[in-house]
Amino acid sequence: VLRLGQIFNLDRLRYVVSYELLENYDDELLVRESSCYENLNLKEERSEEEKKVIYTKQEISFALESVHALLTSLGDLHRYYCEFGLDGLSNVKEVTASYYWEAFKLNTKVGITQNQLGTLYNGRNYNLDSVYHYLYSLCCPIPFECSEPNVSRIFQKNIRYLESNGGADVEEEDYAVREFMAKFLLVVDVFFYDKSVSDFTSLCHSVLIDFKNVLGARRLVDDEYYMTDEFIFKIVSILFFCMYRLQLNSSEKIYSLNAFMVALCSELLEYCTMAVEKYVVENVREDKKFRELYTAMYQRYDDEVRRSRQMVKDGTAGGIFTKDQKSSSGVEEGNGSEDHSNKENDERKSQASSGKQGGGLKKKHAR
């Protein structure tokens, strides 16, 4: 990838793809592969002739497509490393996802990288992440054909889970969240593929009730919310993917989806409003203390403003300003009168000298 960017003068590639991720390679390992290392020559400076070479659009397009494919392949290699359970690399999933995201940033029209992310996050957040990435792939201008069977497999598995009444202990901590996610994925399946289901309105109403109940659910271990901001973002995004698909098919089910999304957002806003009101009630003392401090600071500021206005009105501030202005200009009191008297003395001397000169001229004329 780095070599292609160097050959084709893809300087702007640095602003799209994270070079910090790409430059983290093993020099010693490359030296062992002599042929590979010789072909790279990453540390060699390009000559001026190479920098001046102008490539066609087809050649640049080929280079970018190759970079996209290579980044995707790097993600696949790291994913295999993770699936095989090999040790030696920390945060393998994060690194794998980074390669996929870098490839997707380079070309957002191709959905293959979103499909790979769905495979990487299989089972995460009750399969919400996988469904999100698979549907994202199918909504791209160039969808990946394998995304449809992948997401259909998850939907079929979810239907079997619902038919078996969950198959889990009701007393489990996250039972309510799993039930909500199972029903929500069923609703997504109906909307995205425009299926006809009996009593679909009751199903949507049940999902909204479950959503309201799990919004405030917390884990016992770390007291964190199940419904994180990322969780809610992906739920809403999936509904937008369904809307996009229904619009393409000109389906009338889009009206039901609009009503469902409005109701979902209404529940979310109501919960946020209640949370803010609860926070205000729980922090009455802090709020009272803040108001007192704010009032005192405002009163001091108001007094200073009123005092300054009164000084300007009485003329006191103007006198002070004039005096300061004189002193700042370097002219002290008394200097002006001395200069004036000196000027008068000089004028008298000049008049006296001119008078003497006039008398001498008269004597000459008389002679």
The more confidently predicted of residues 217 and 365 is 217
- Whole-prediction pTM value? 0.70
Q: What is the pLDDT of residue 361?
A: 43
From 38, 99, 29, select the one nearest 69 (Cα to Cα): 99
- Among the listed ranges 141-155, 222-236, 274-288, 347-361, which one has the minimum average pLDDT value? 347-361
Is 271 in contact with 212 (CB distance < 8 Å)? yes
Q: 226 pLDDT exceeds 80?
A: yes
Cα 193–Cα 119–Cα 147 angle in degrees, nearest 5: 30
Q: What is the pLDDT of residue 332?
A: 45
Q: What is the pLDDT of residue 164?
A: 86
Segment 182-204 mean pLDDT:
94
Q: Which stretch, 46-60, 213-227, 329-343, has highest mean pLDDT?
A: 213-227
> What secondary structure letter does DSSP report for 11?
G
pLDDT per residue over 289-304, tens digit each?
989 999 999 999 999 9
Q: How far apart are CA 303 and CA 293, in angstroms?
A: 16
Query: Per residue, what are the HEC states of 246-308?
Result: HHHHCCCCHHHHHHHHHHHHHHHHHHHHHHHHHHHHHCHHHHHHHHHHHHHHHHHHHHHHHHH
Segment 175-202 mean pLDDT:
93
pLDDT per residue over 303-327, tens digit each?
999 999 988 888 875 555 554 444 4
Q: 36 pLDDT exceeds 50?
A: yes
Q: How far apart are CA 232 and CA 228, in angstroms?
A: 6
> What secondary structure letter does DSSP report for 142?
B
Cα four-point dihedral sign 346, 350, 355, 360:
positive
User: What percentage of residues in the chain have a pLDDT greater than 90?
Assistant: 43
- Among the listed ranges 135-144, 214-223, 251-260, which one has the minimum average pLDDT value? 214-223
pLDDT per residue over 85-136, tens digit each?
765 556 788 889 988 998 998 889 999 999 999 999 999 999 999 999 999 9
Q: What is the pLDDT of residue 328?
A: 45
Segment 132-159 mean pLDDT:
96
The more confidently predicted of residues 84 and 119 is 119
CA 108, distance to chain mean position in Å, is 18
Segment 136-147 mean pLDDT:
95
Q: What is the pLDDT of residue 30?
A: 54
Site of tokens 């198959």: 167
Helix ranges, 84-199 (H): 92-106, 112-120, 128-138, 147-163, 175-192
* Alpha-carbon distances, residue 188 vs 159, 243, 244, 261 (angstroms): 12, 10, 12, 12
The more confidently predicted of residues 281 and 15 is 281
Q: How far apart are CA 104 and CA 108, in angstroms?
A: 5
Mean per-residue pLDDT of the chain: 79
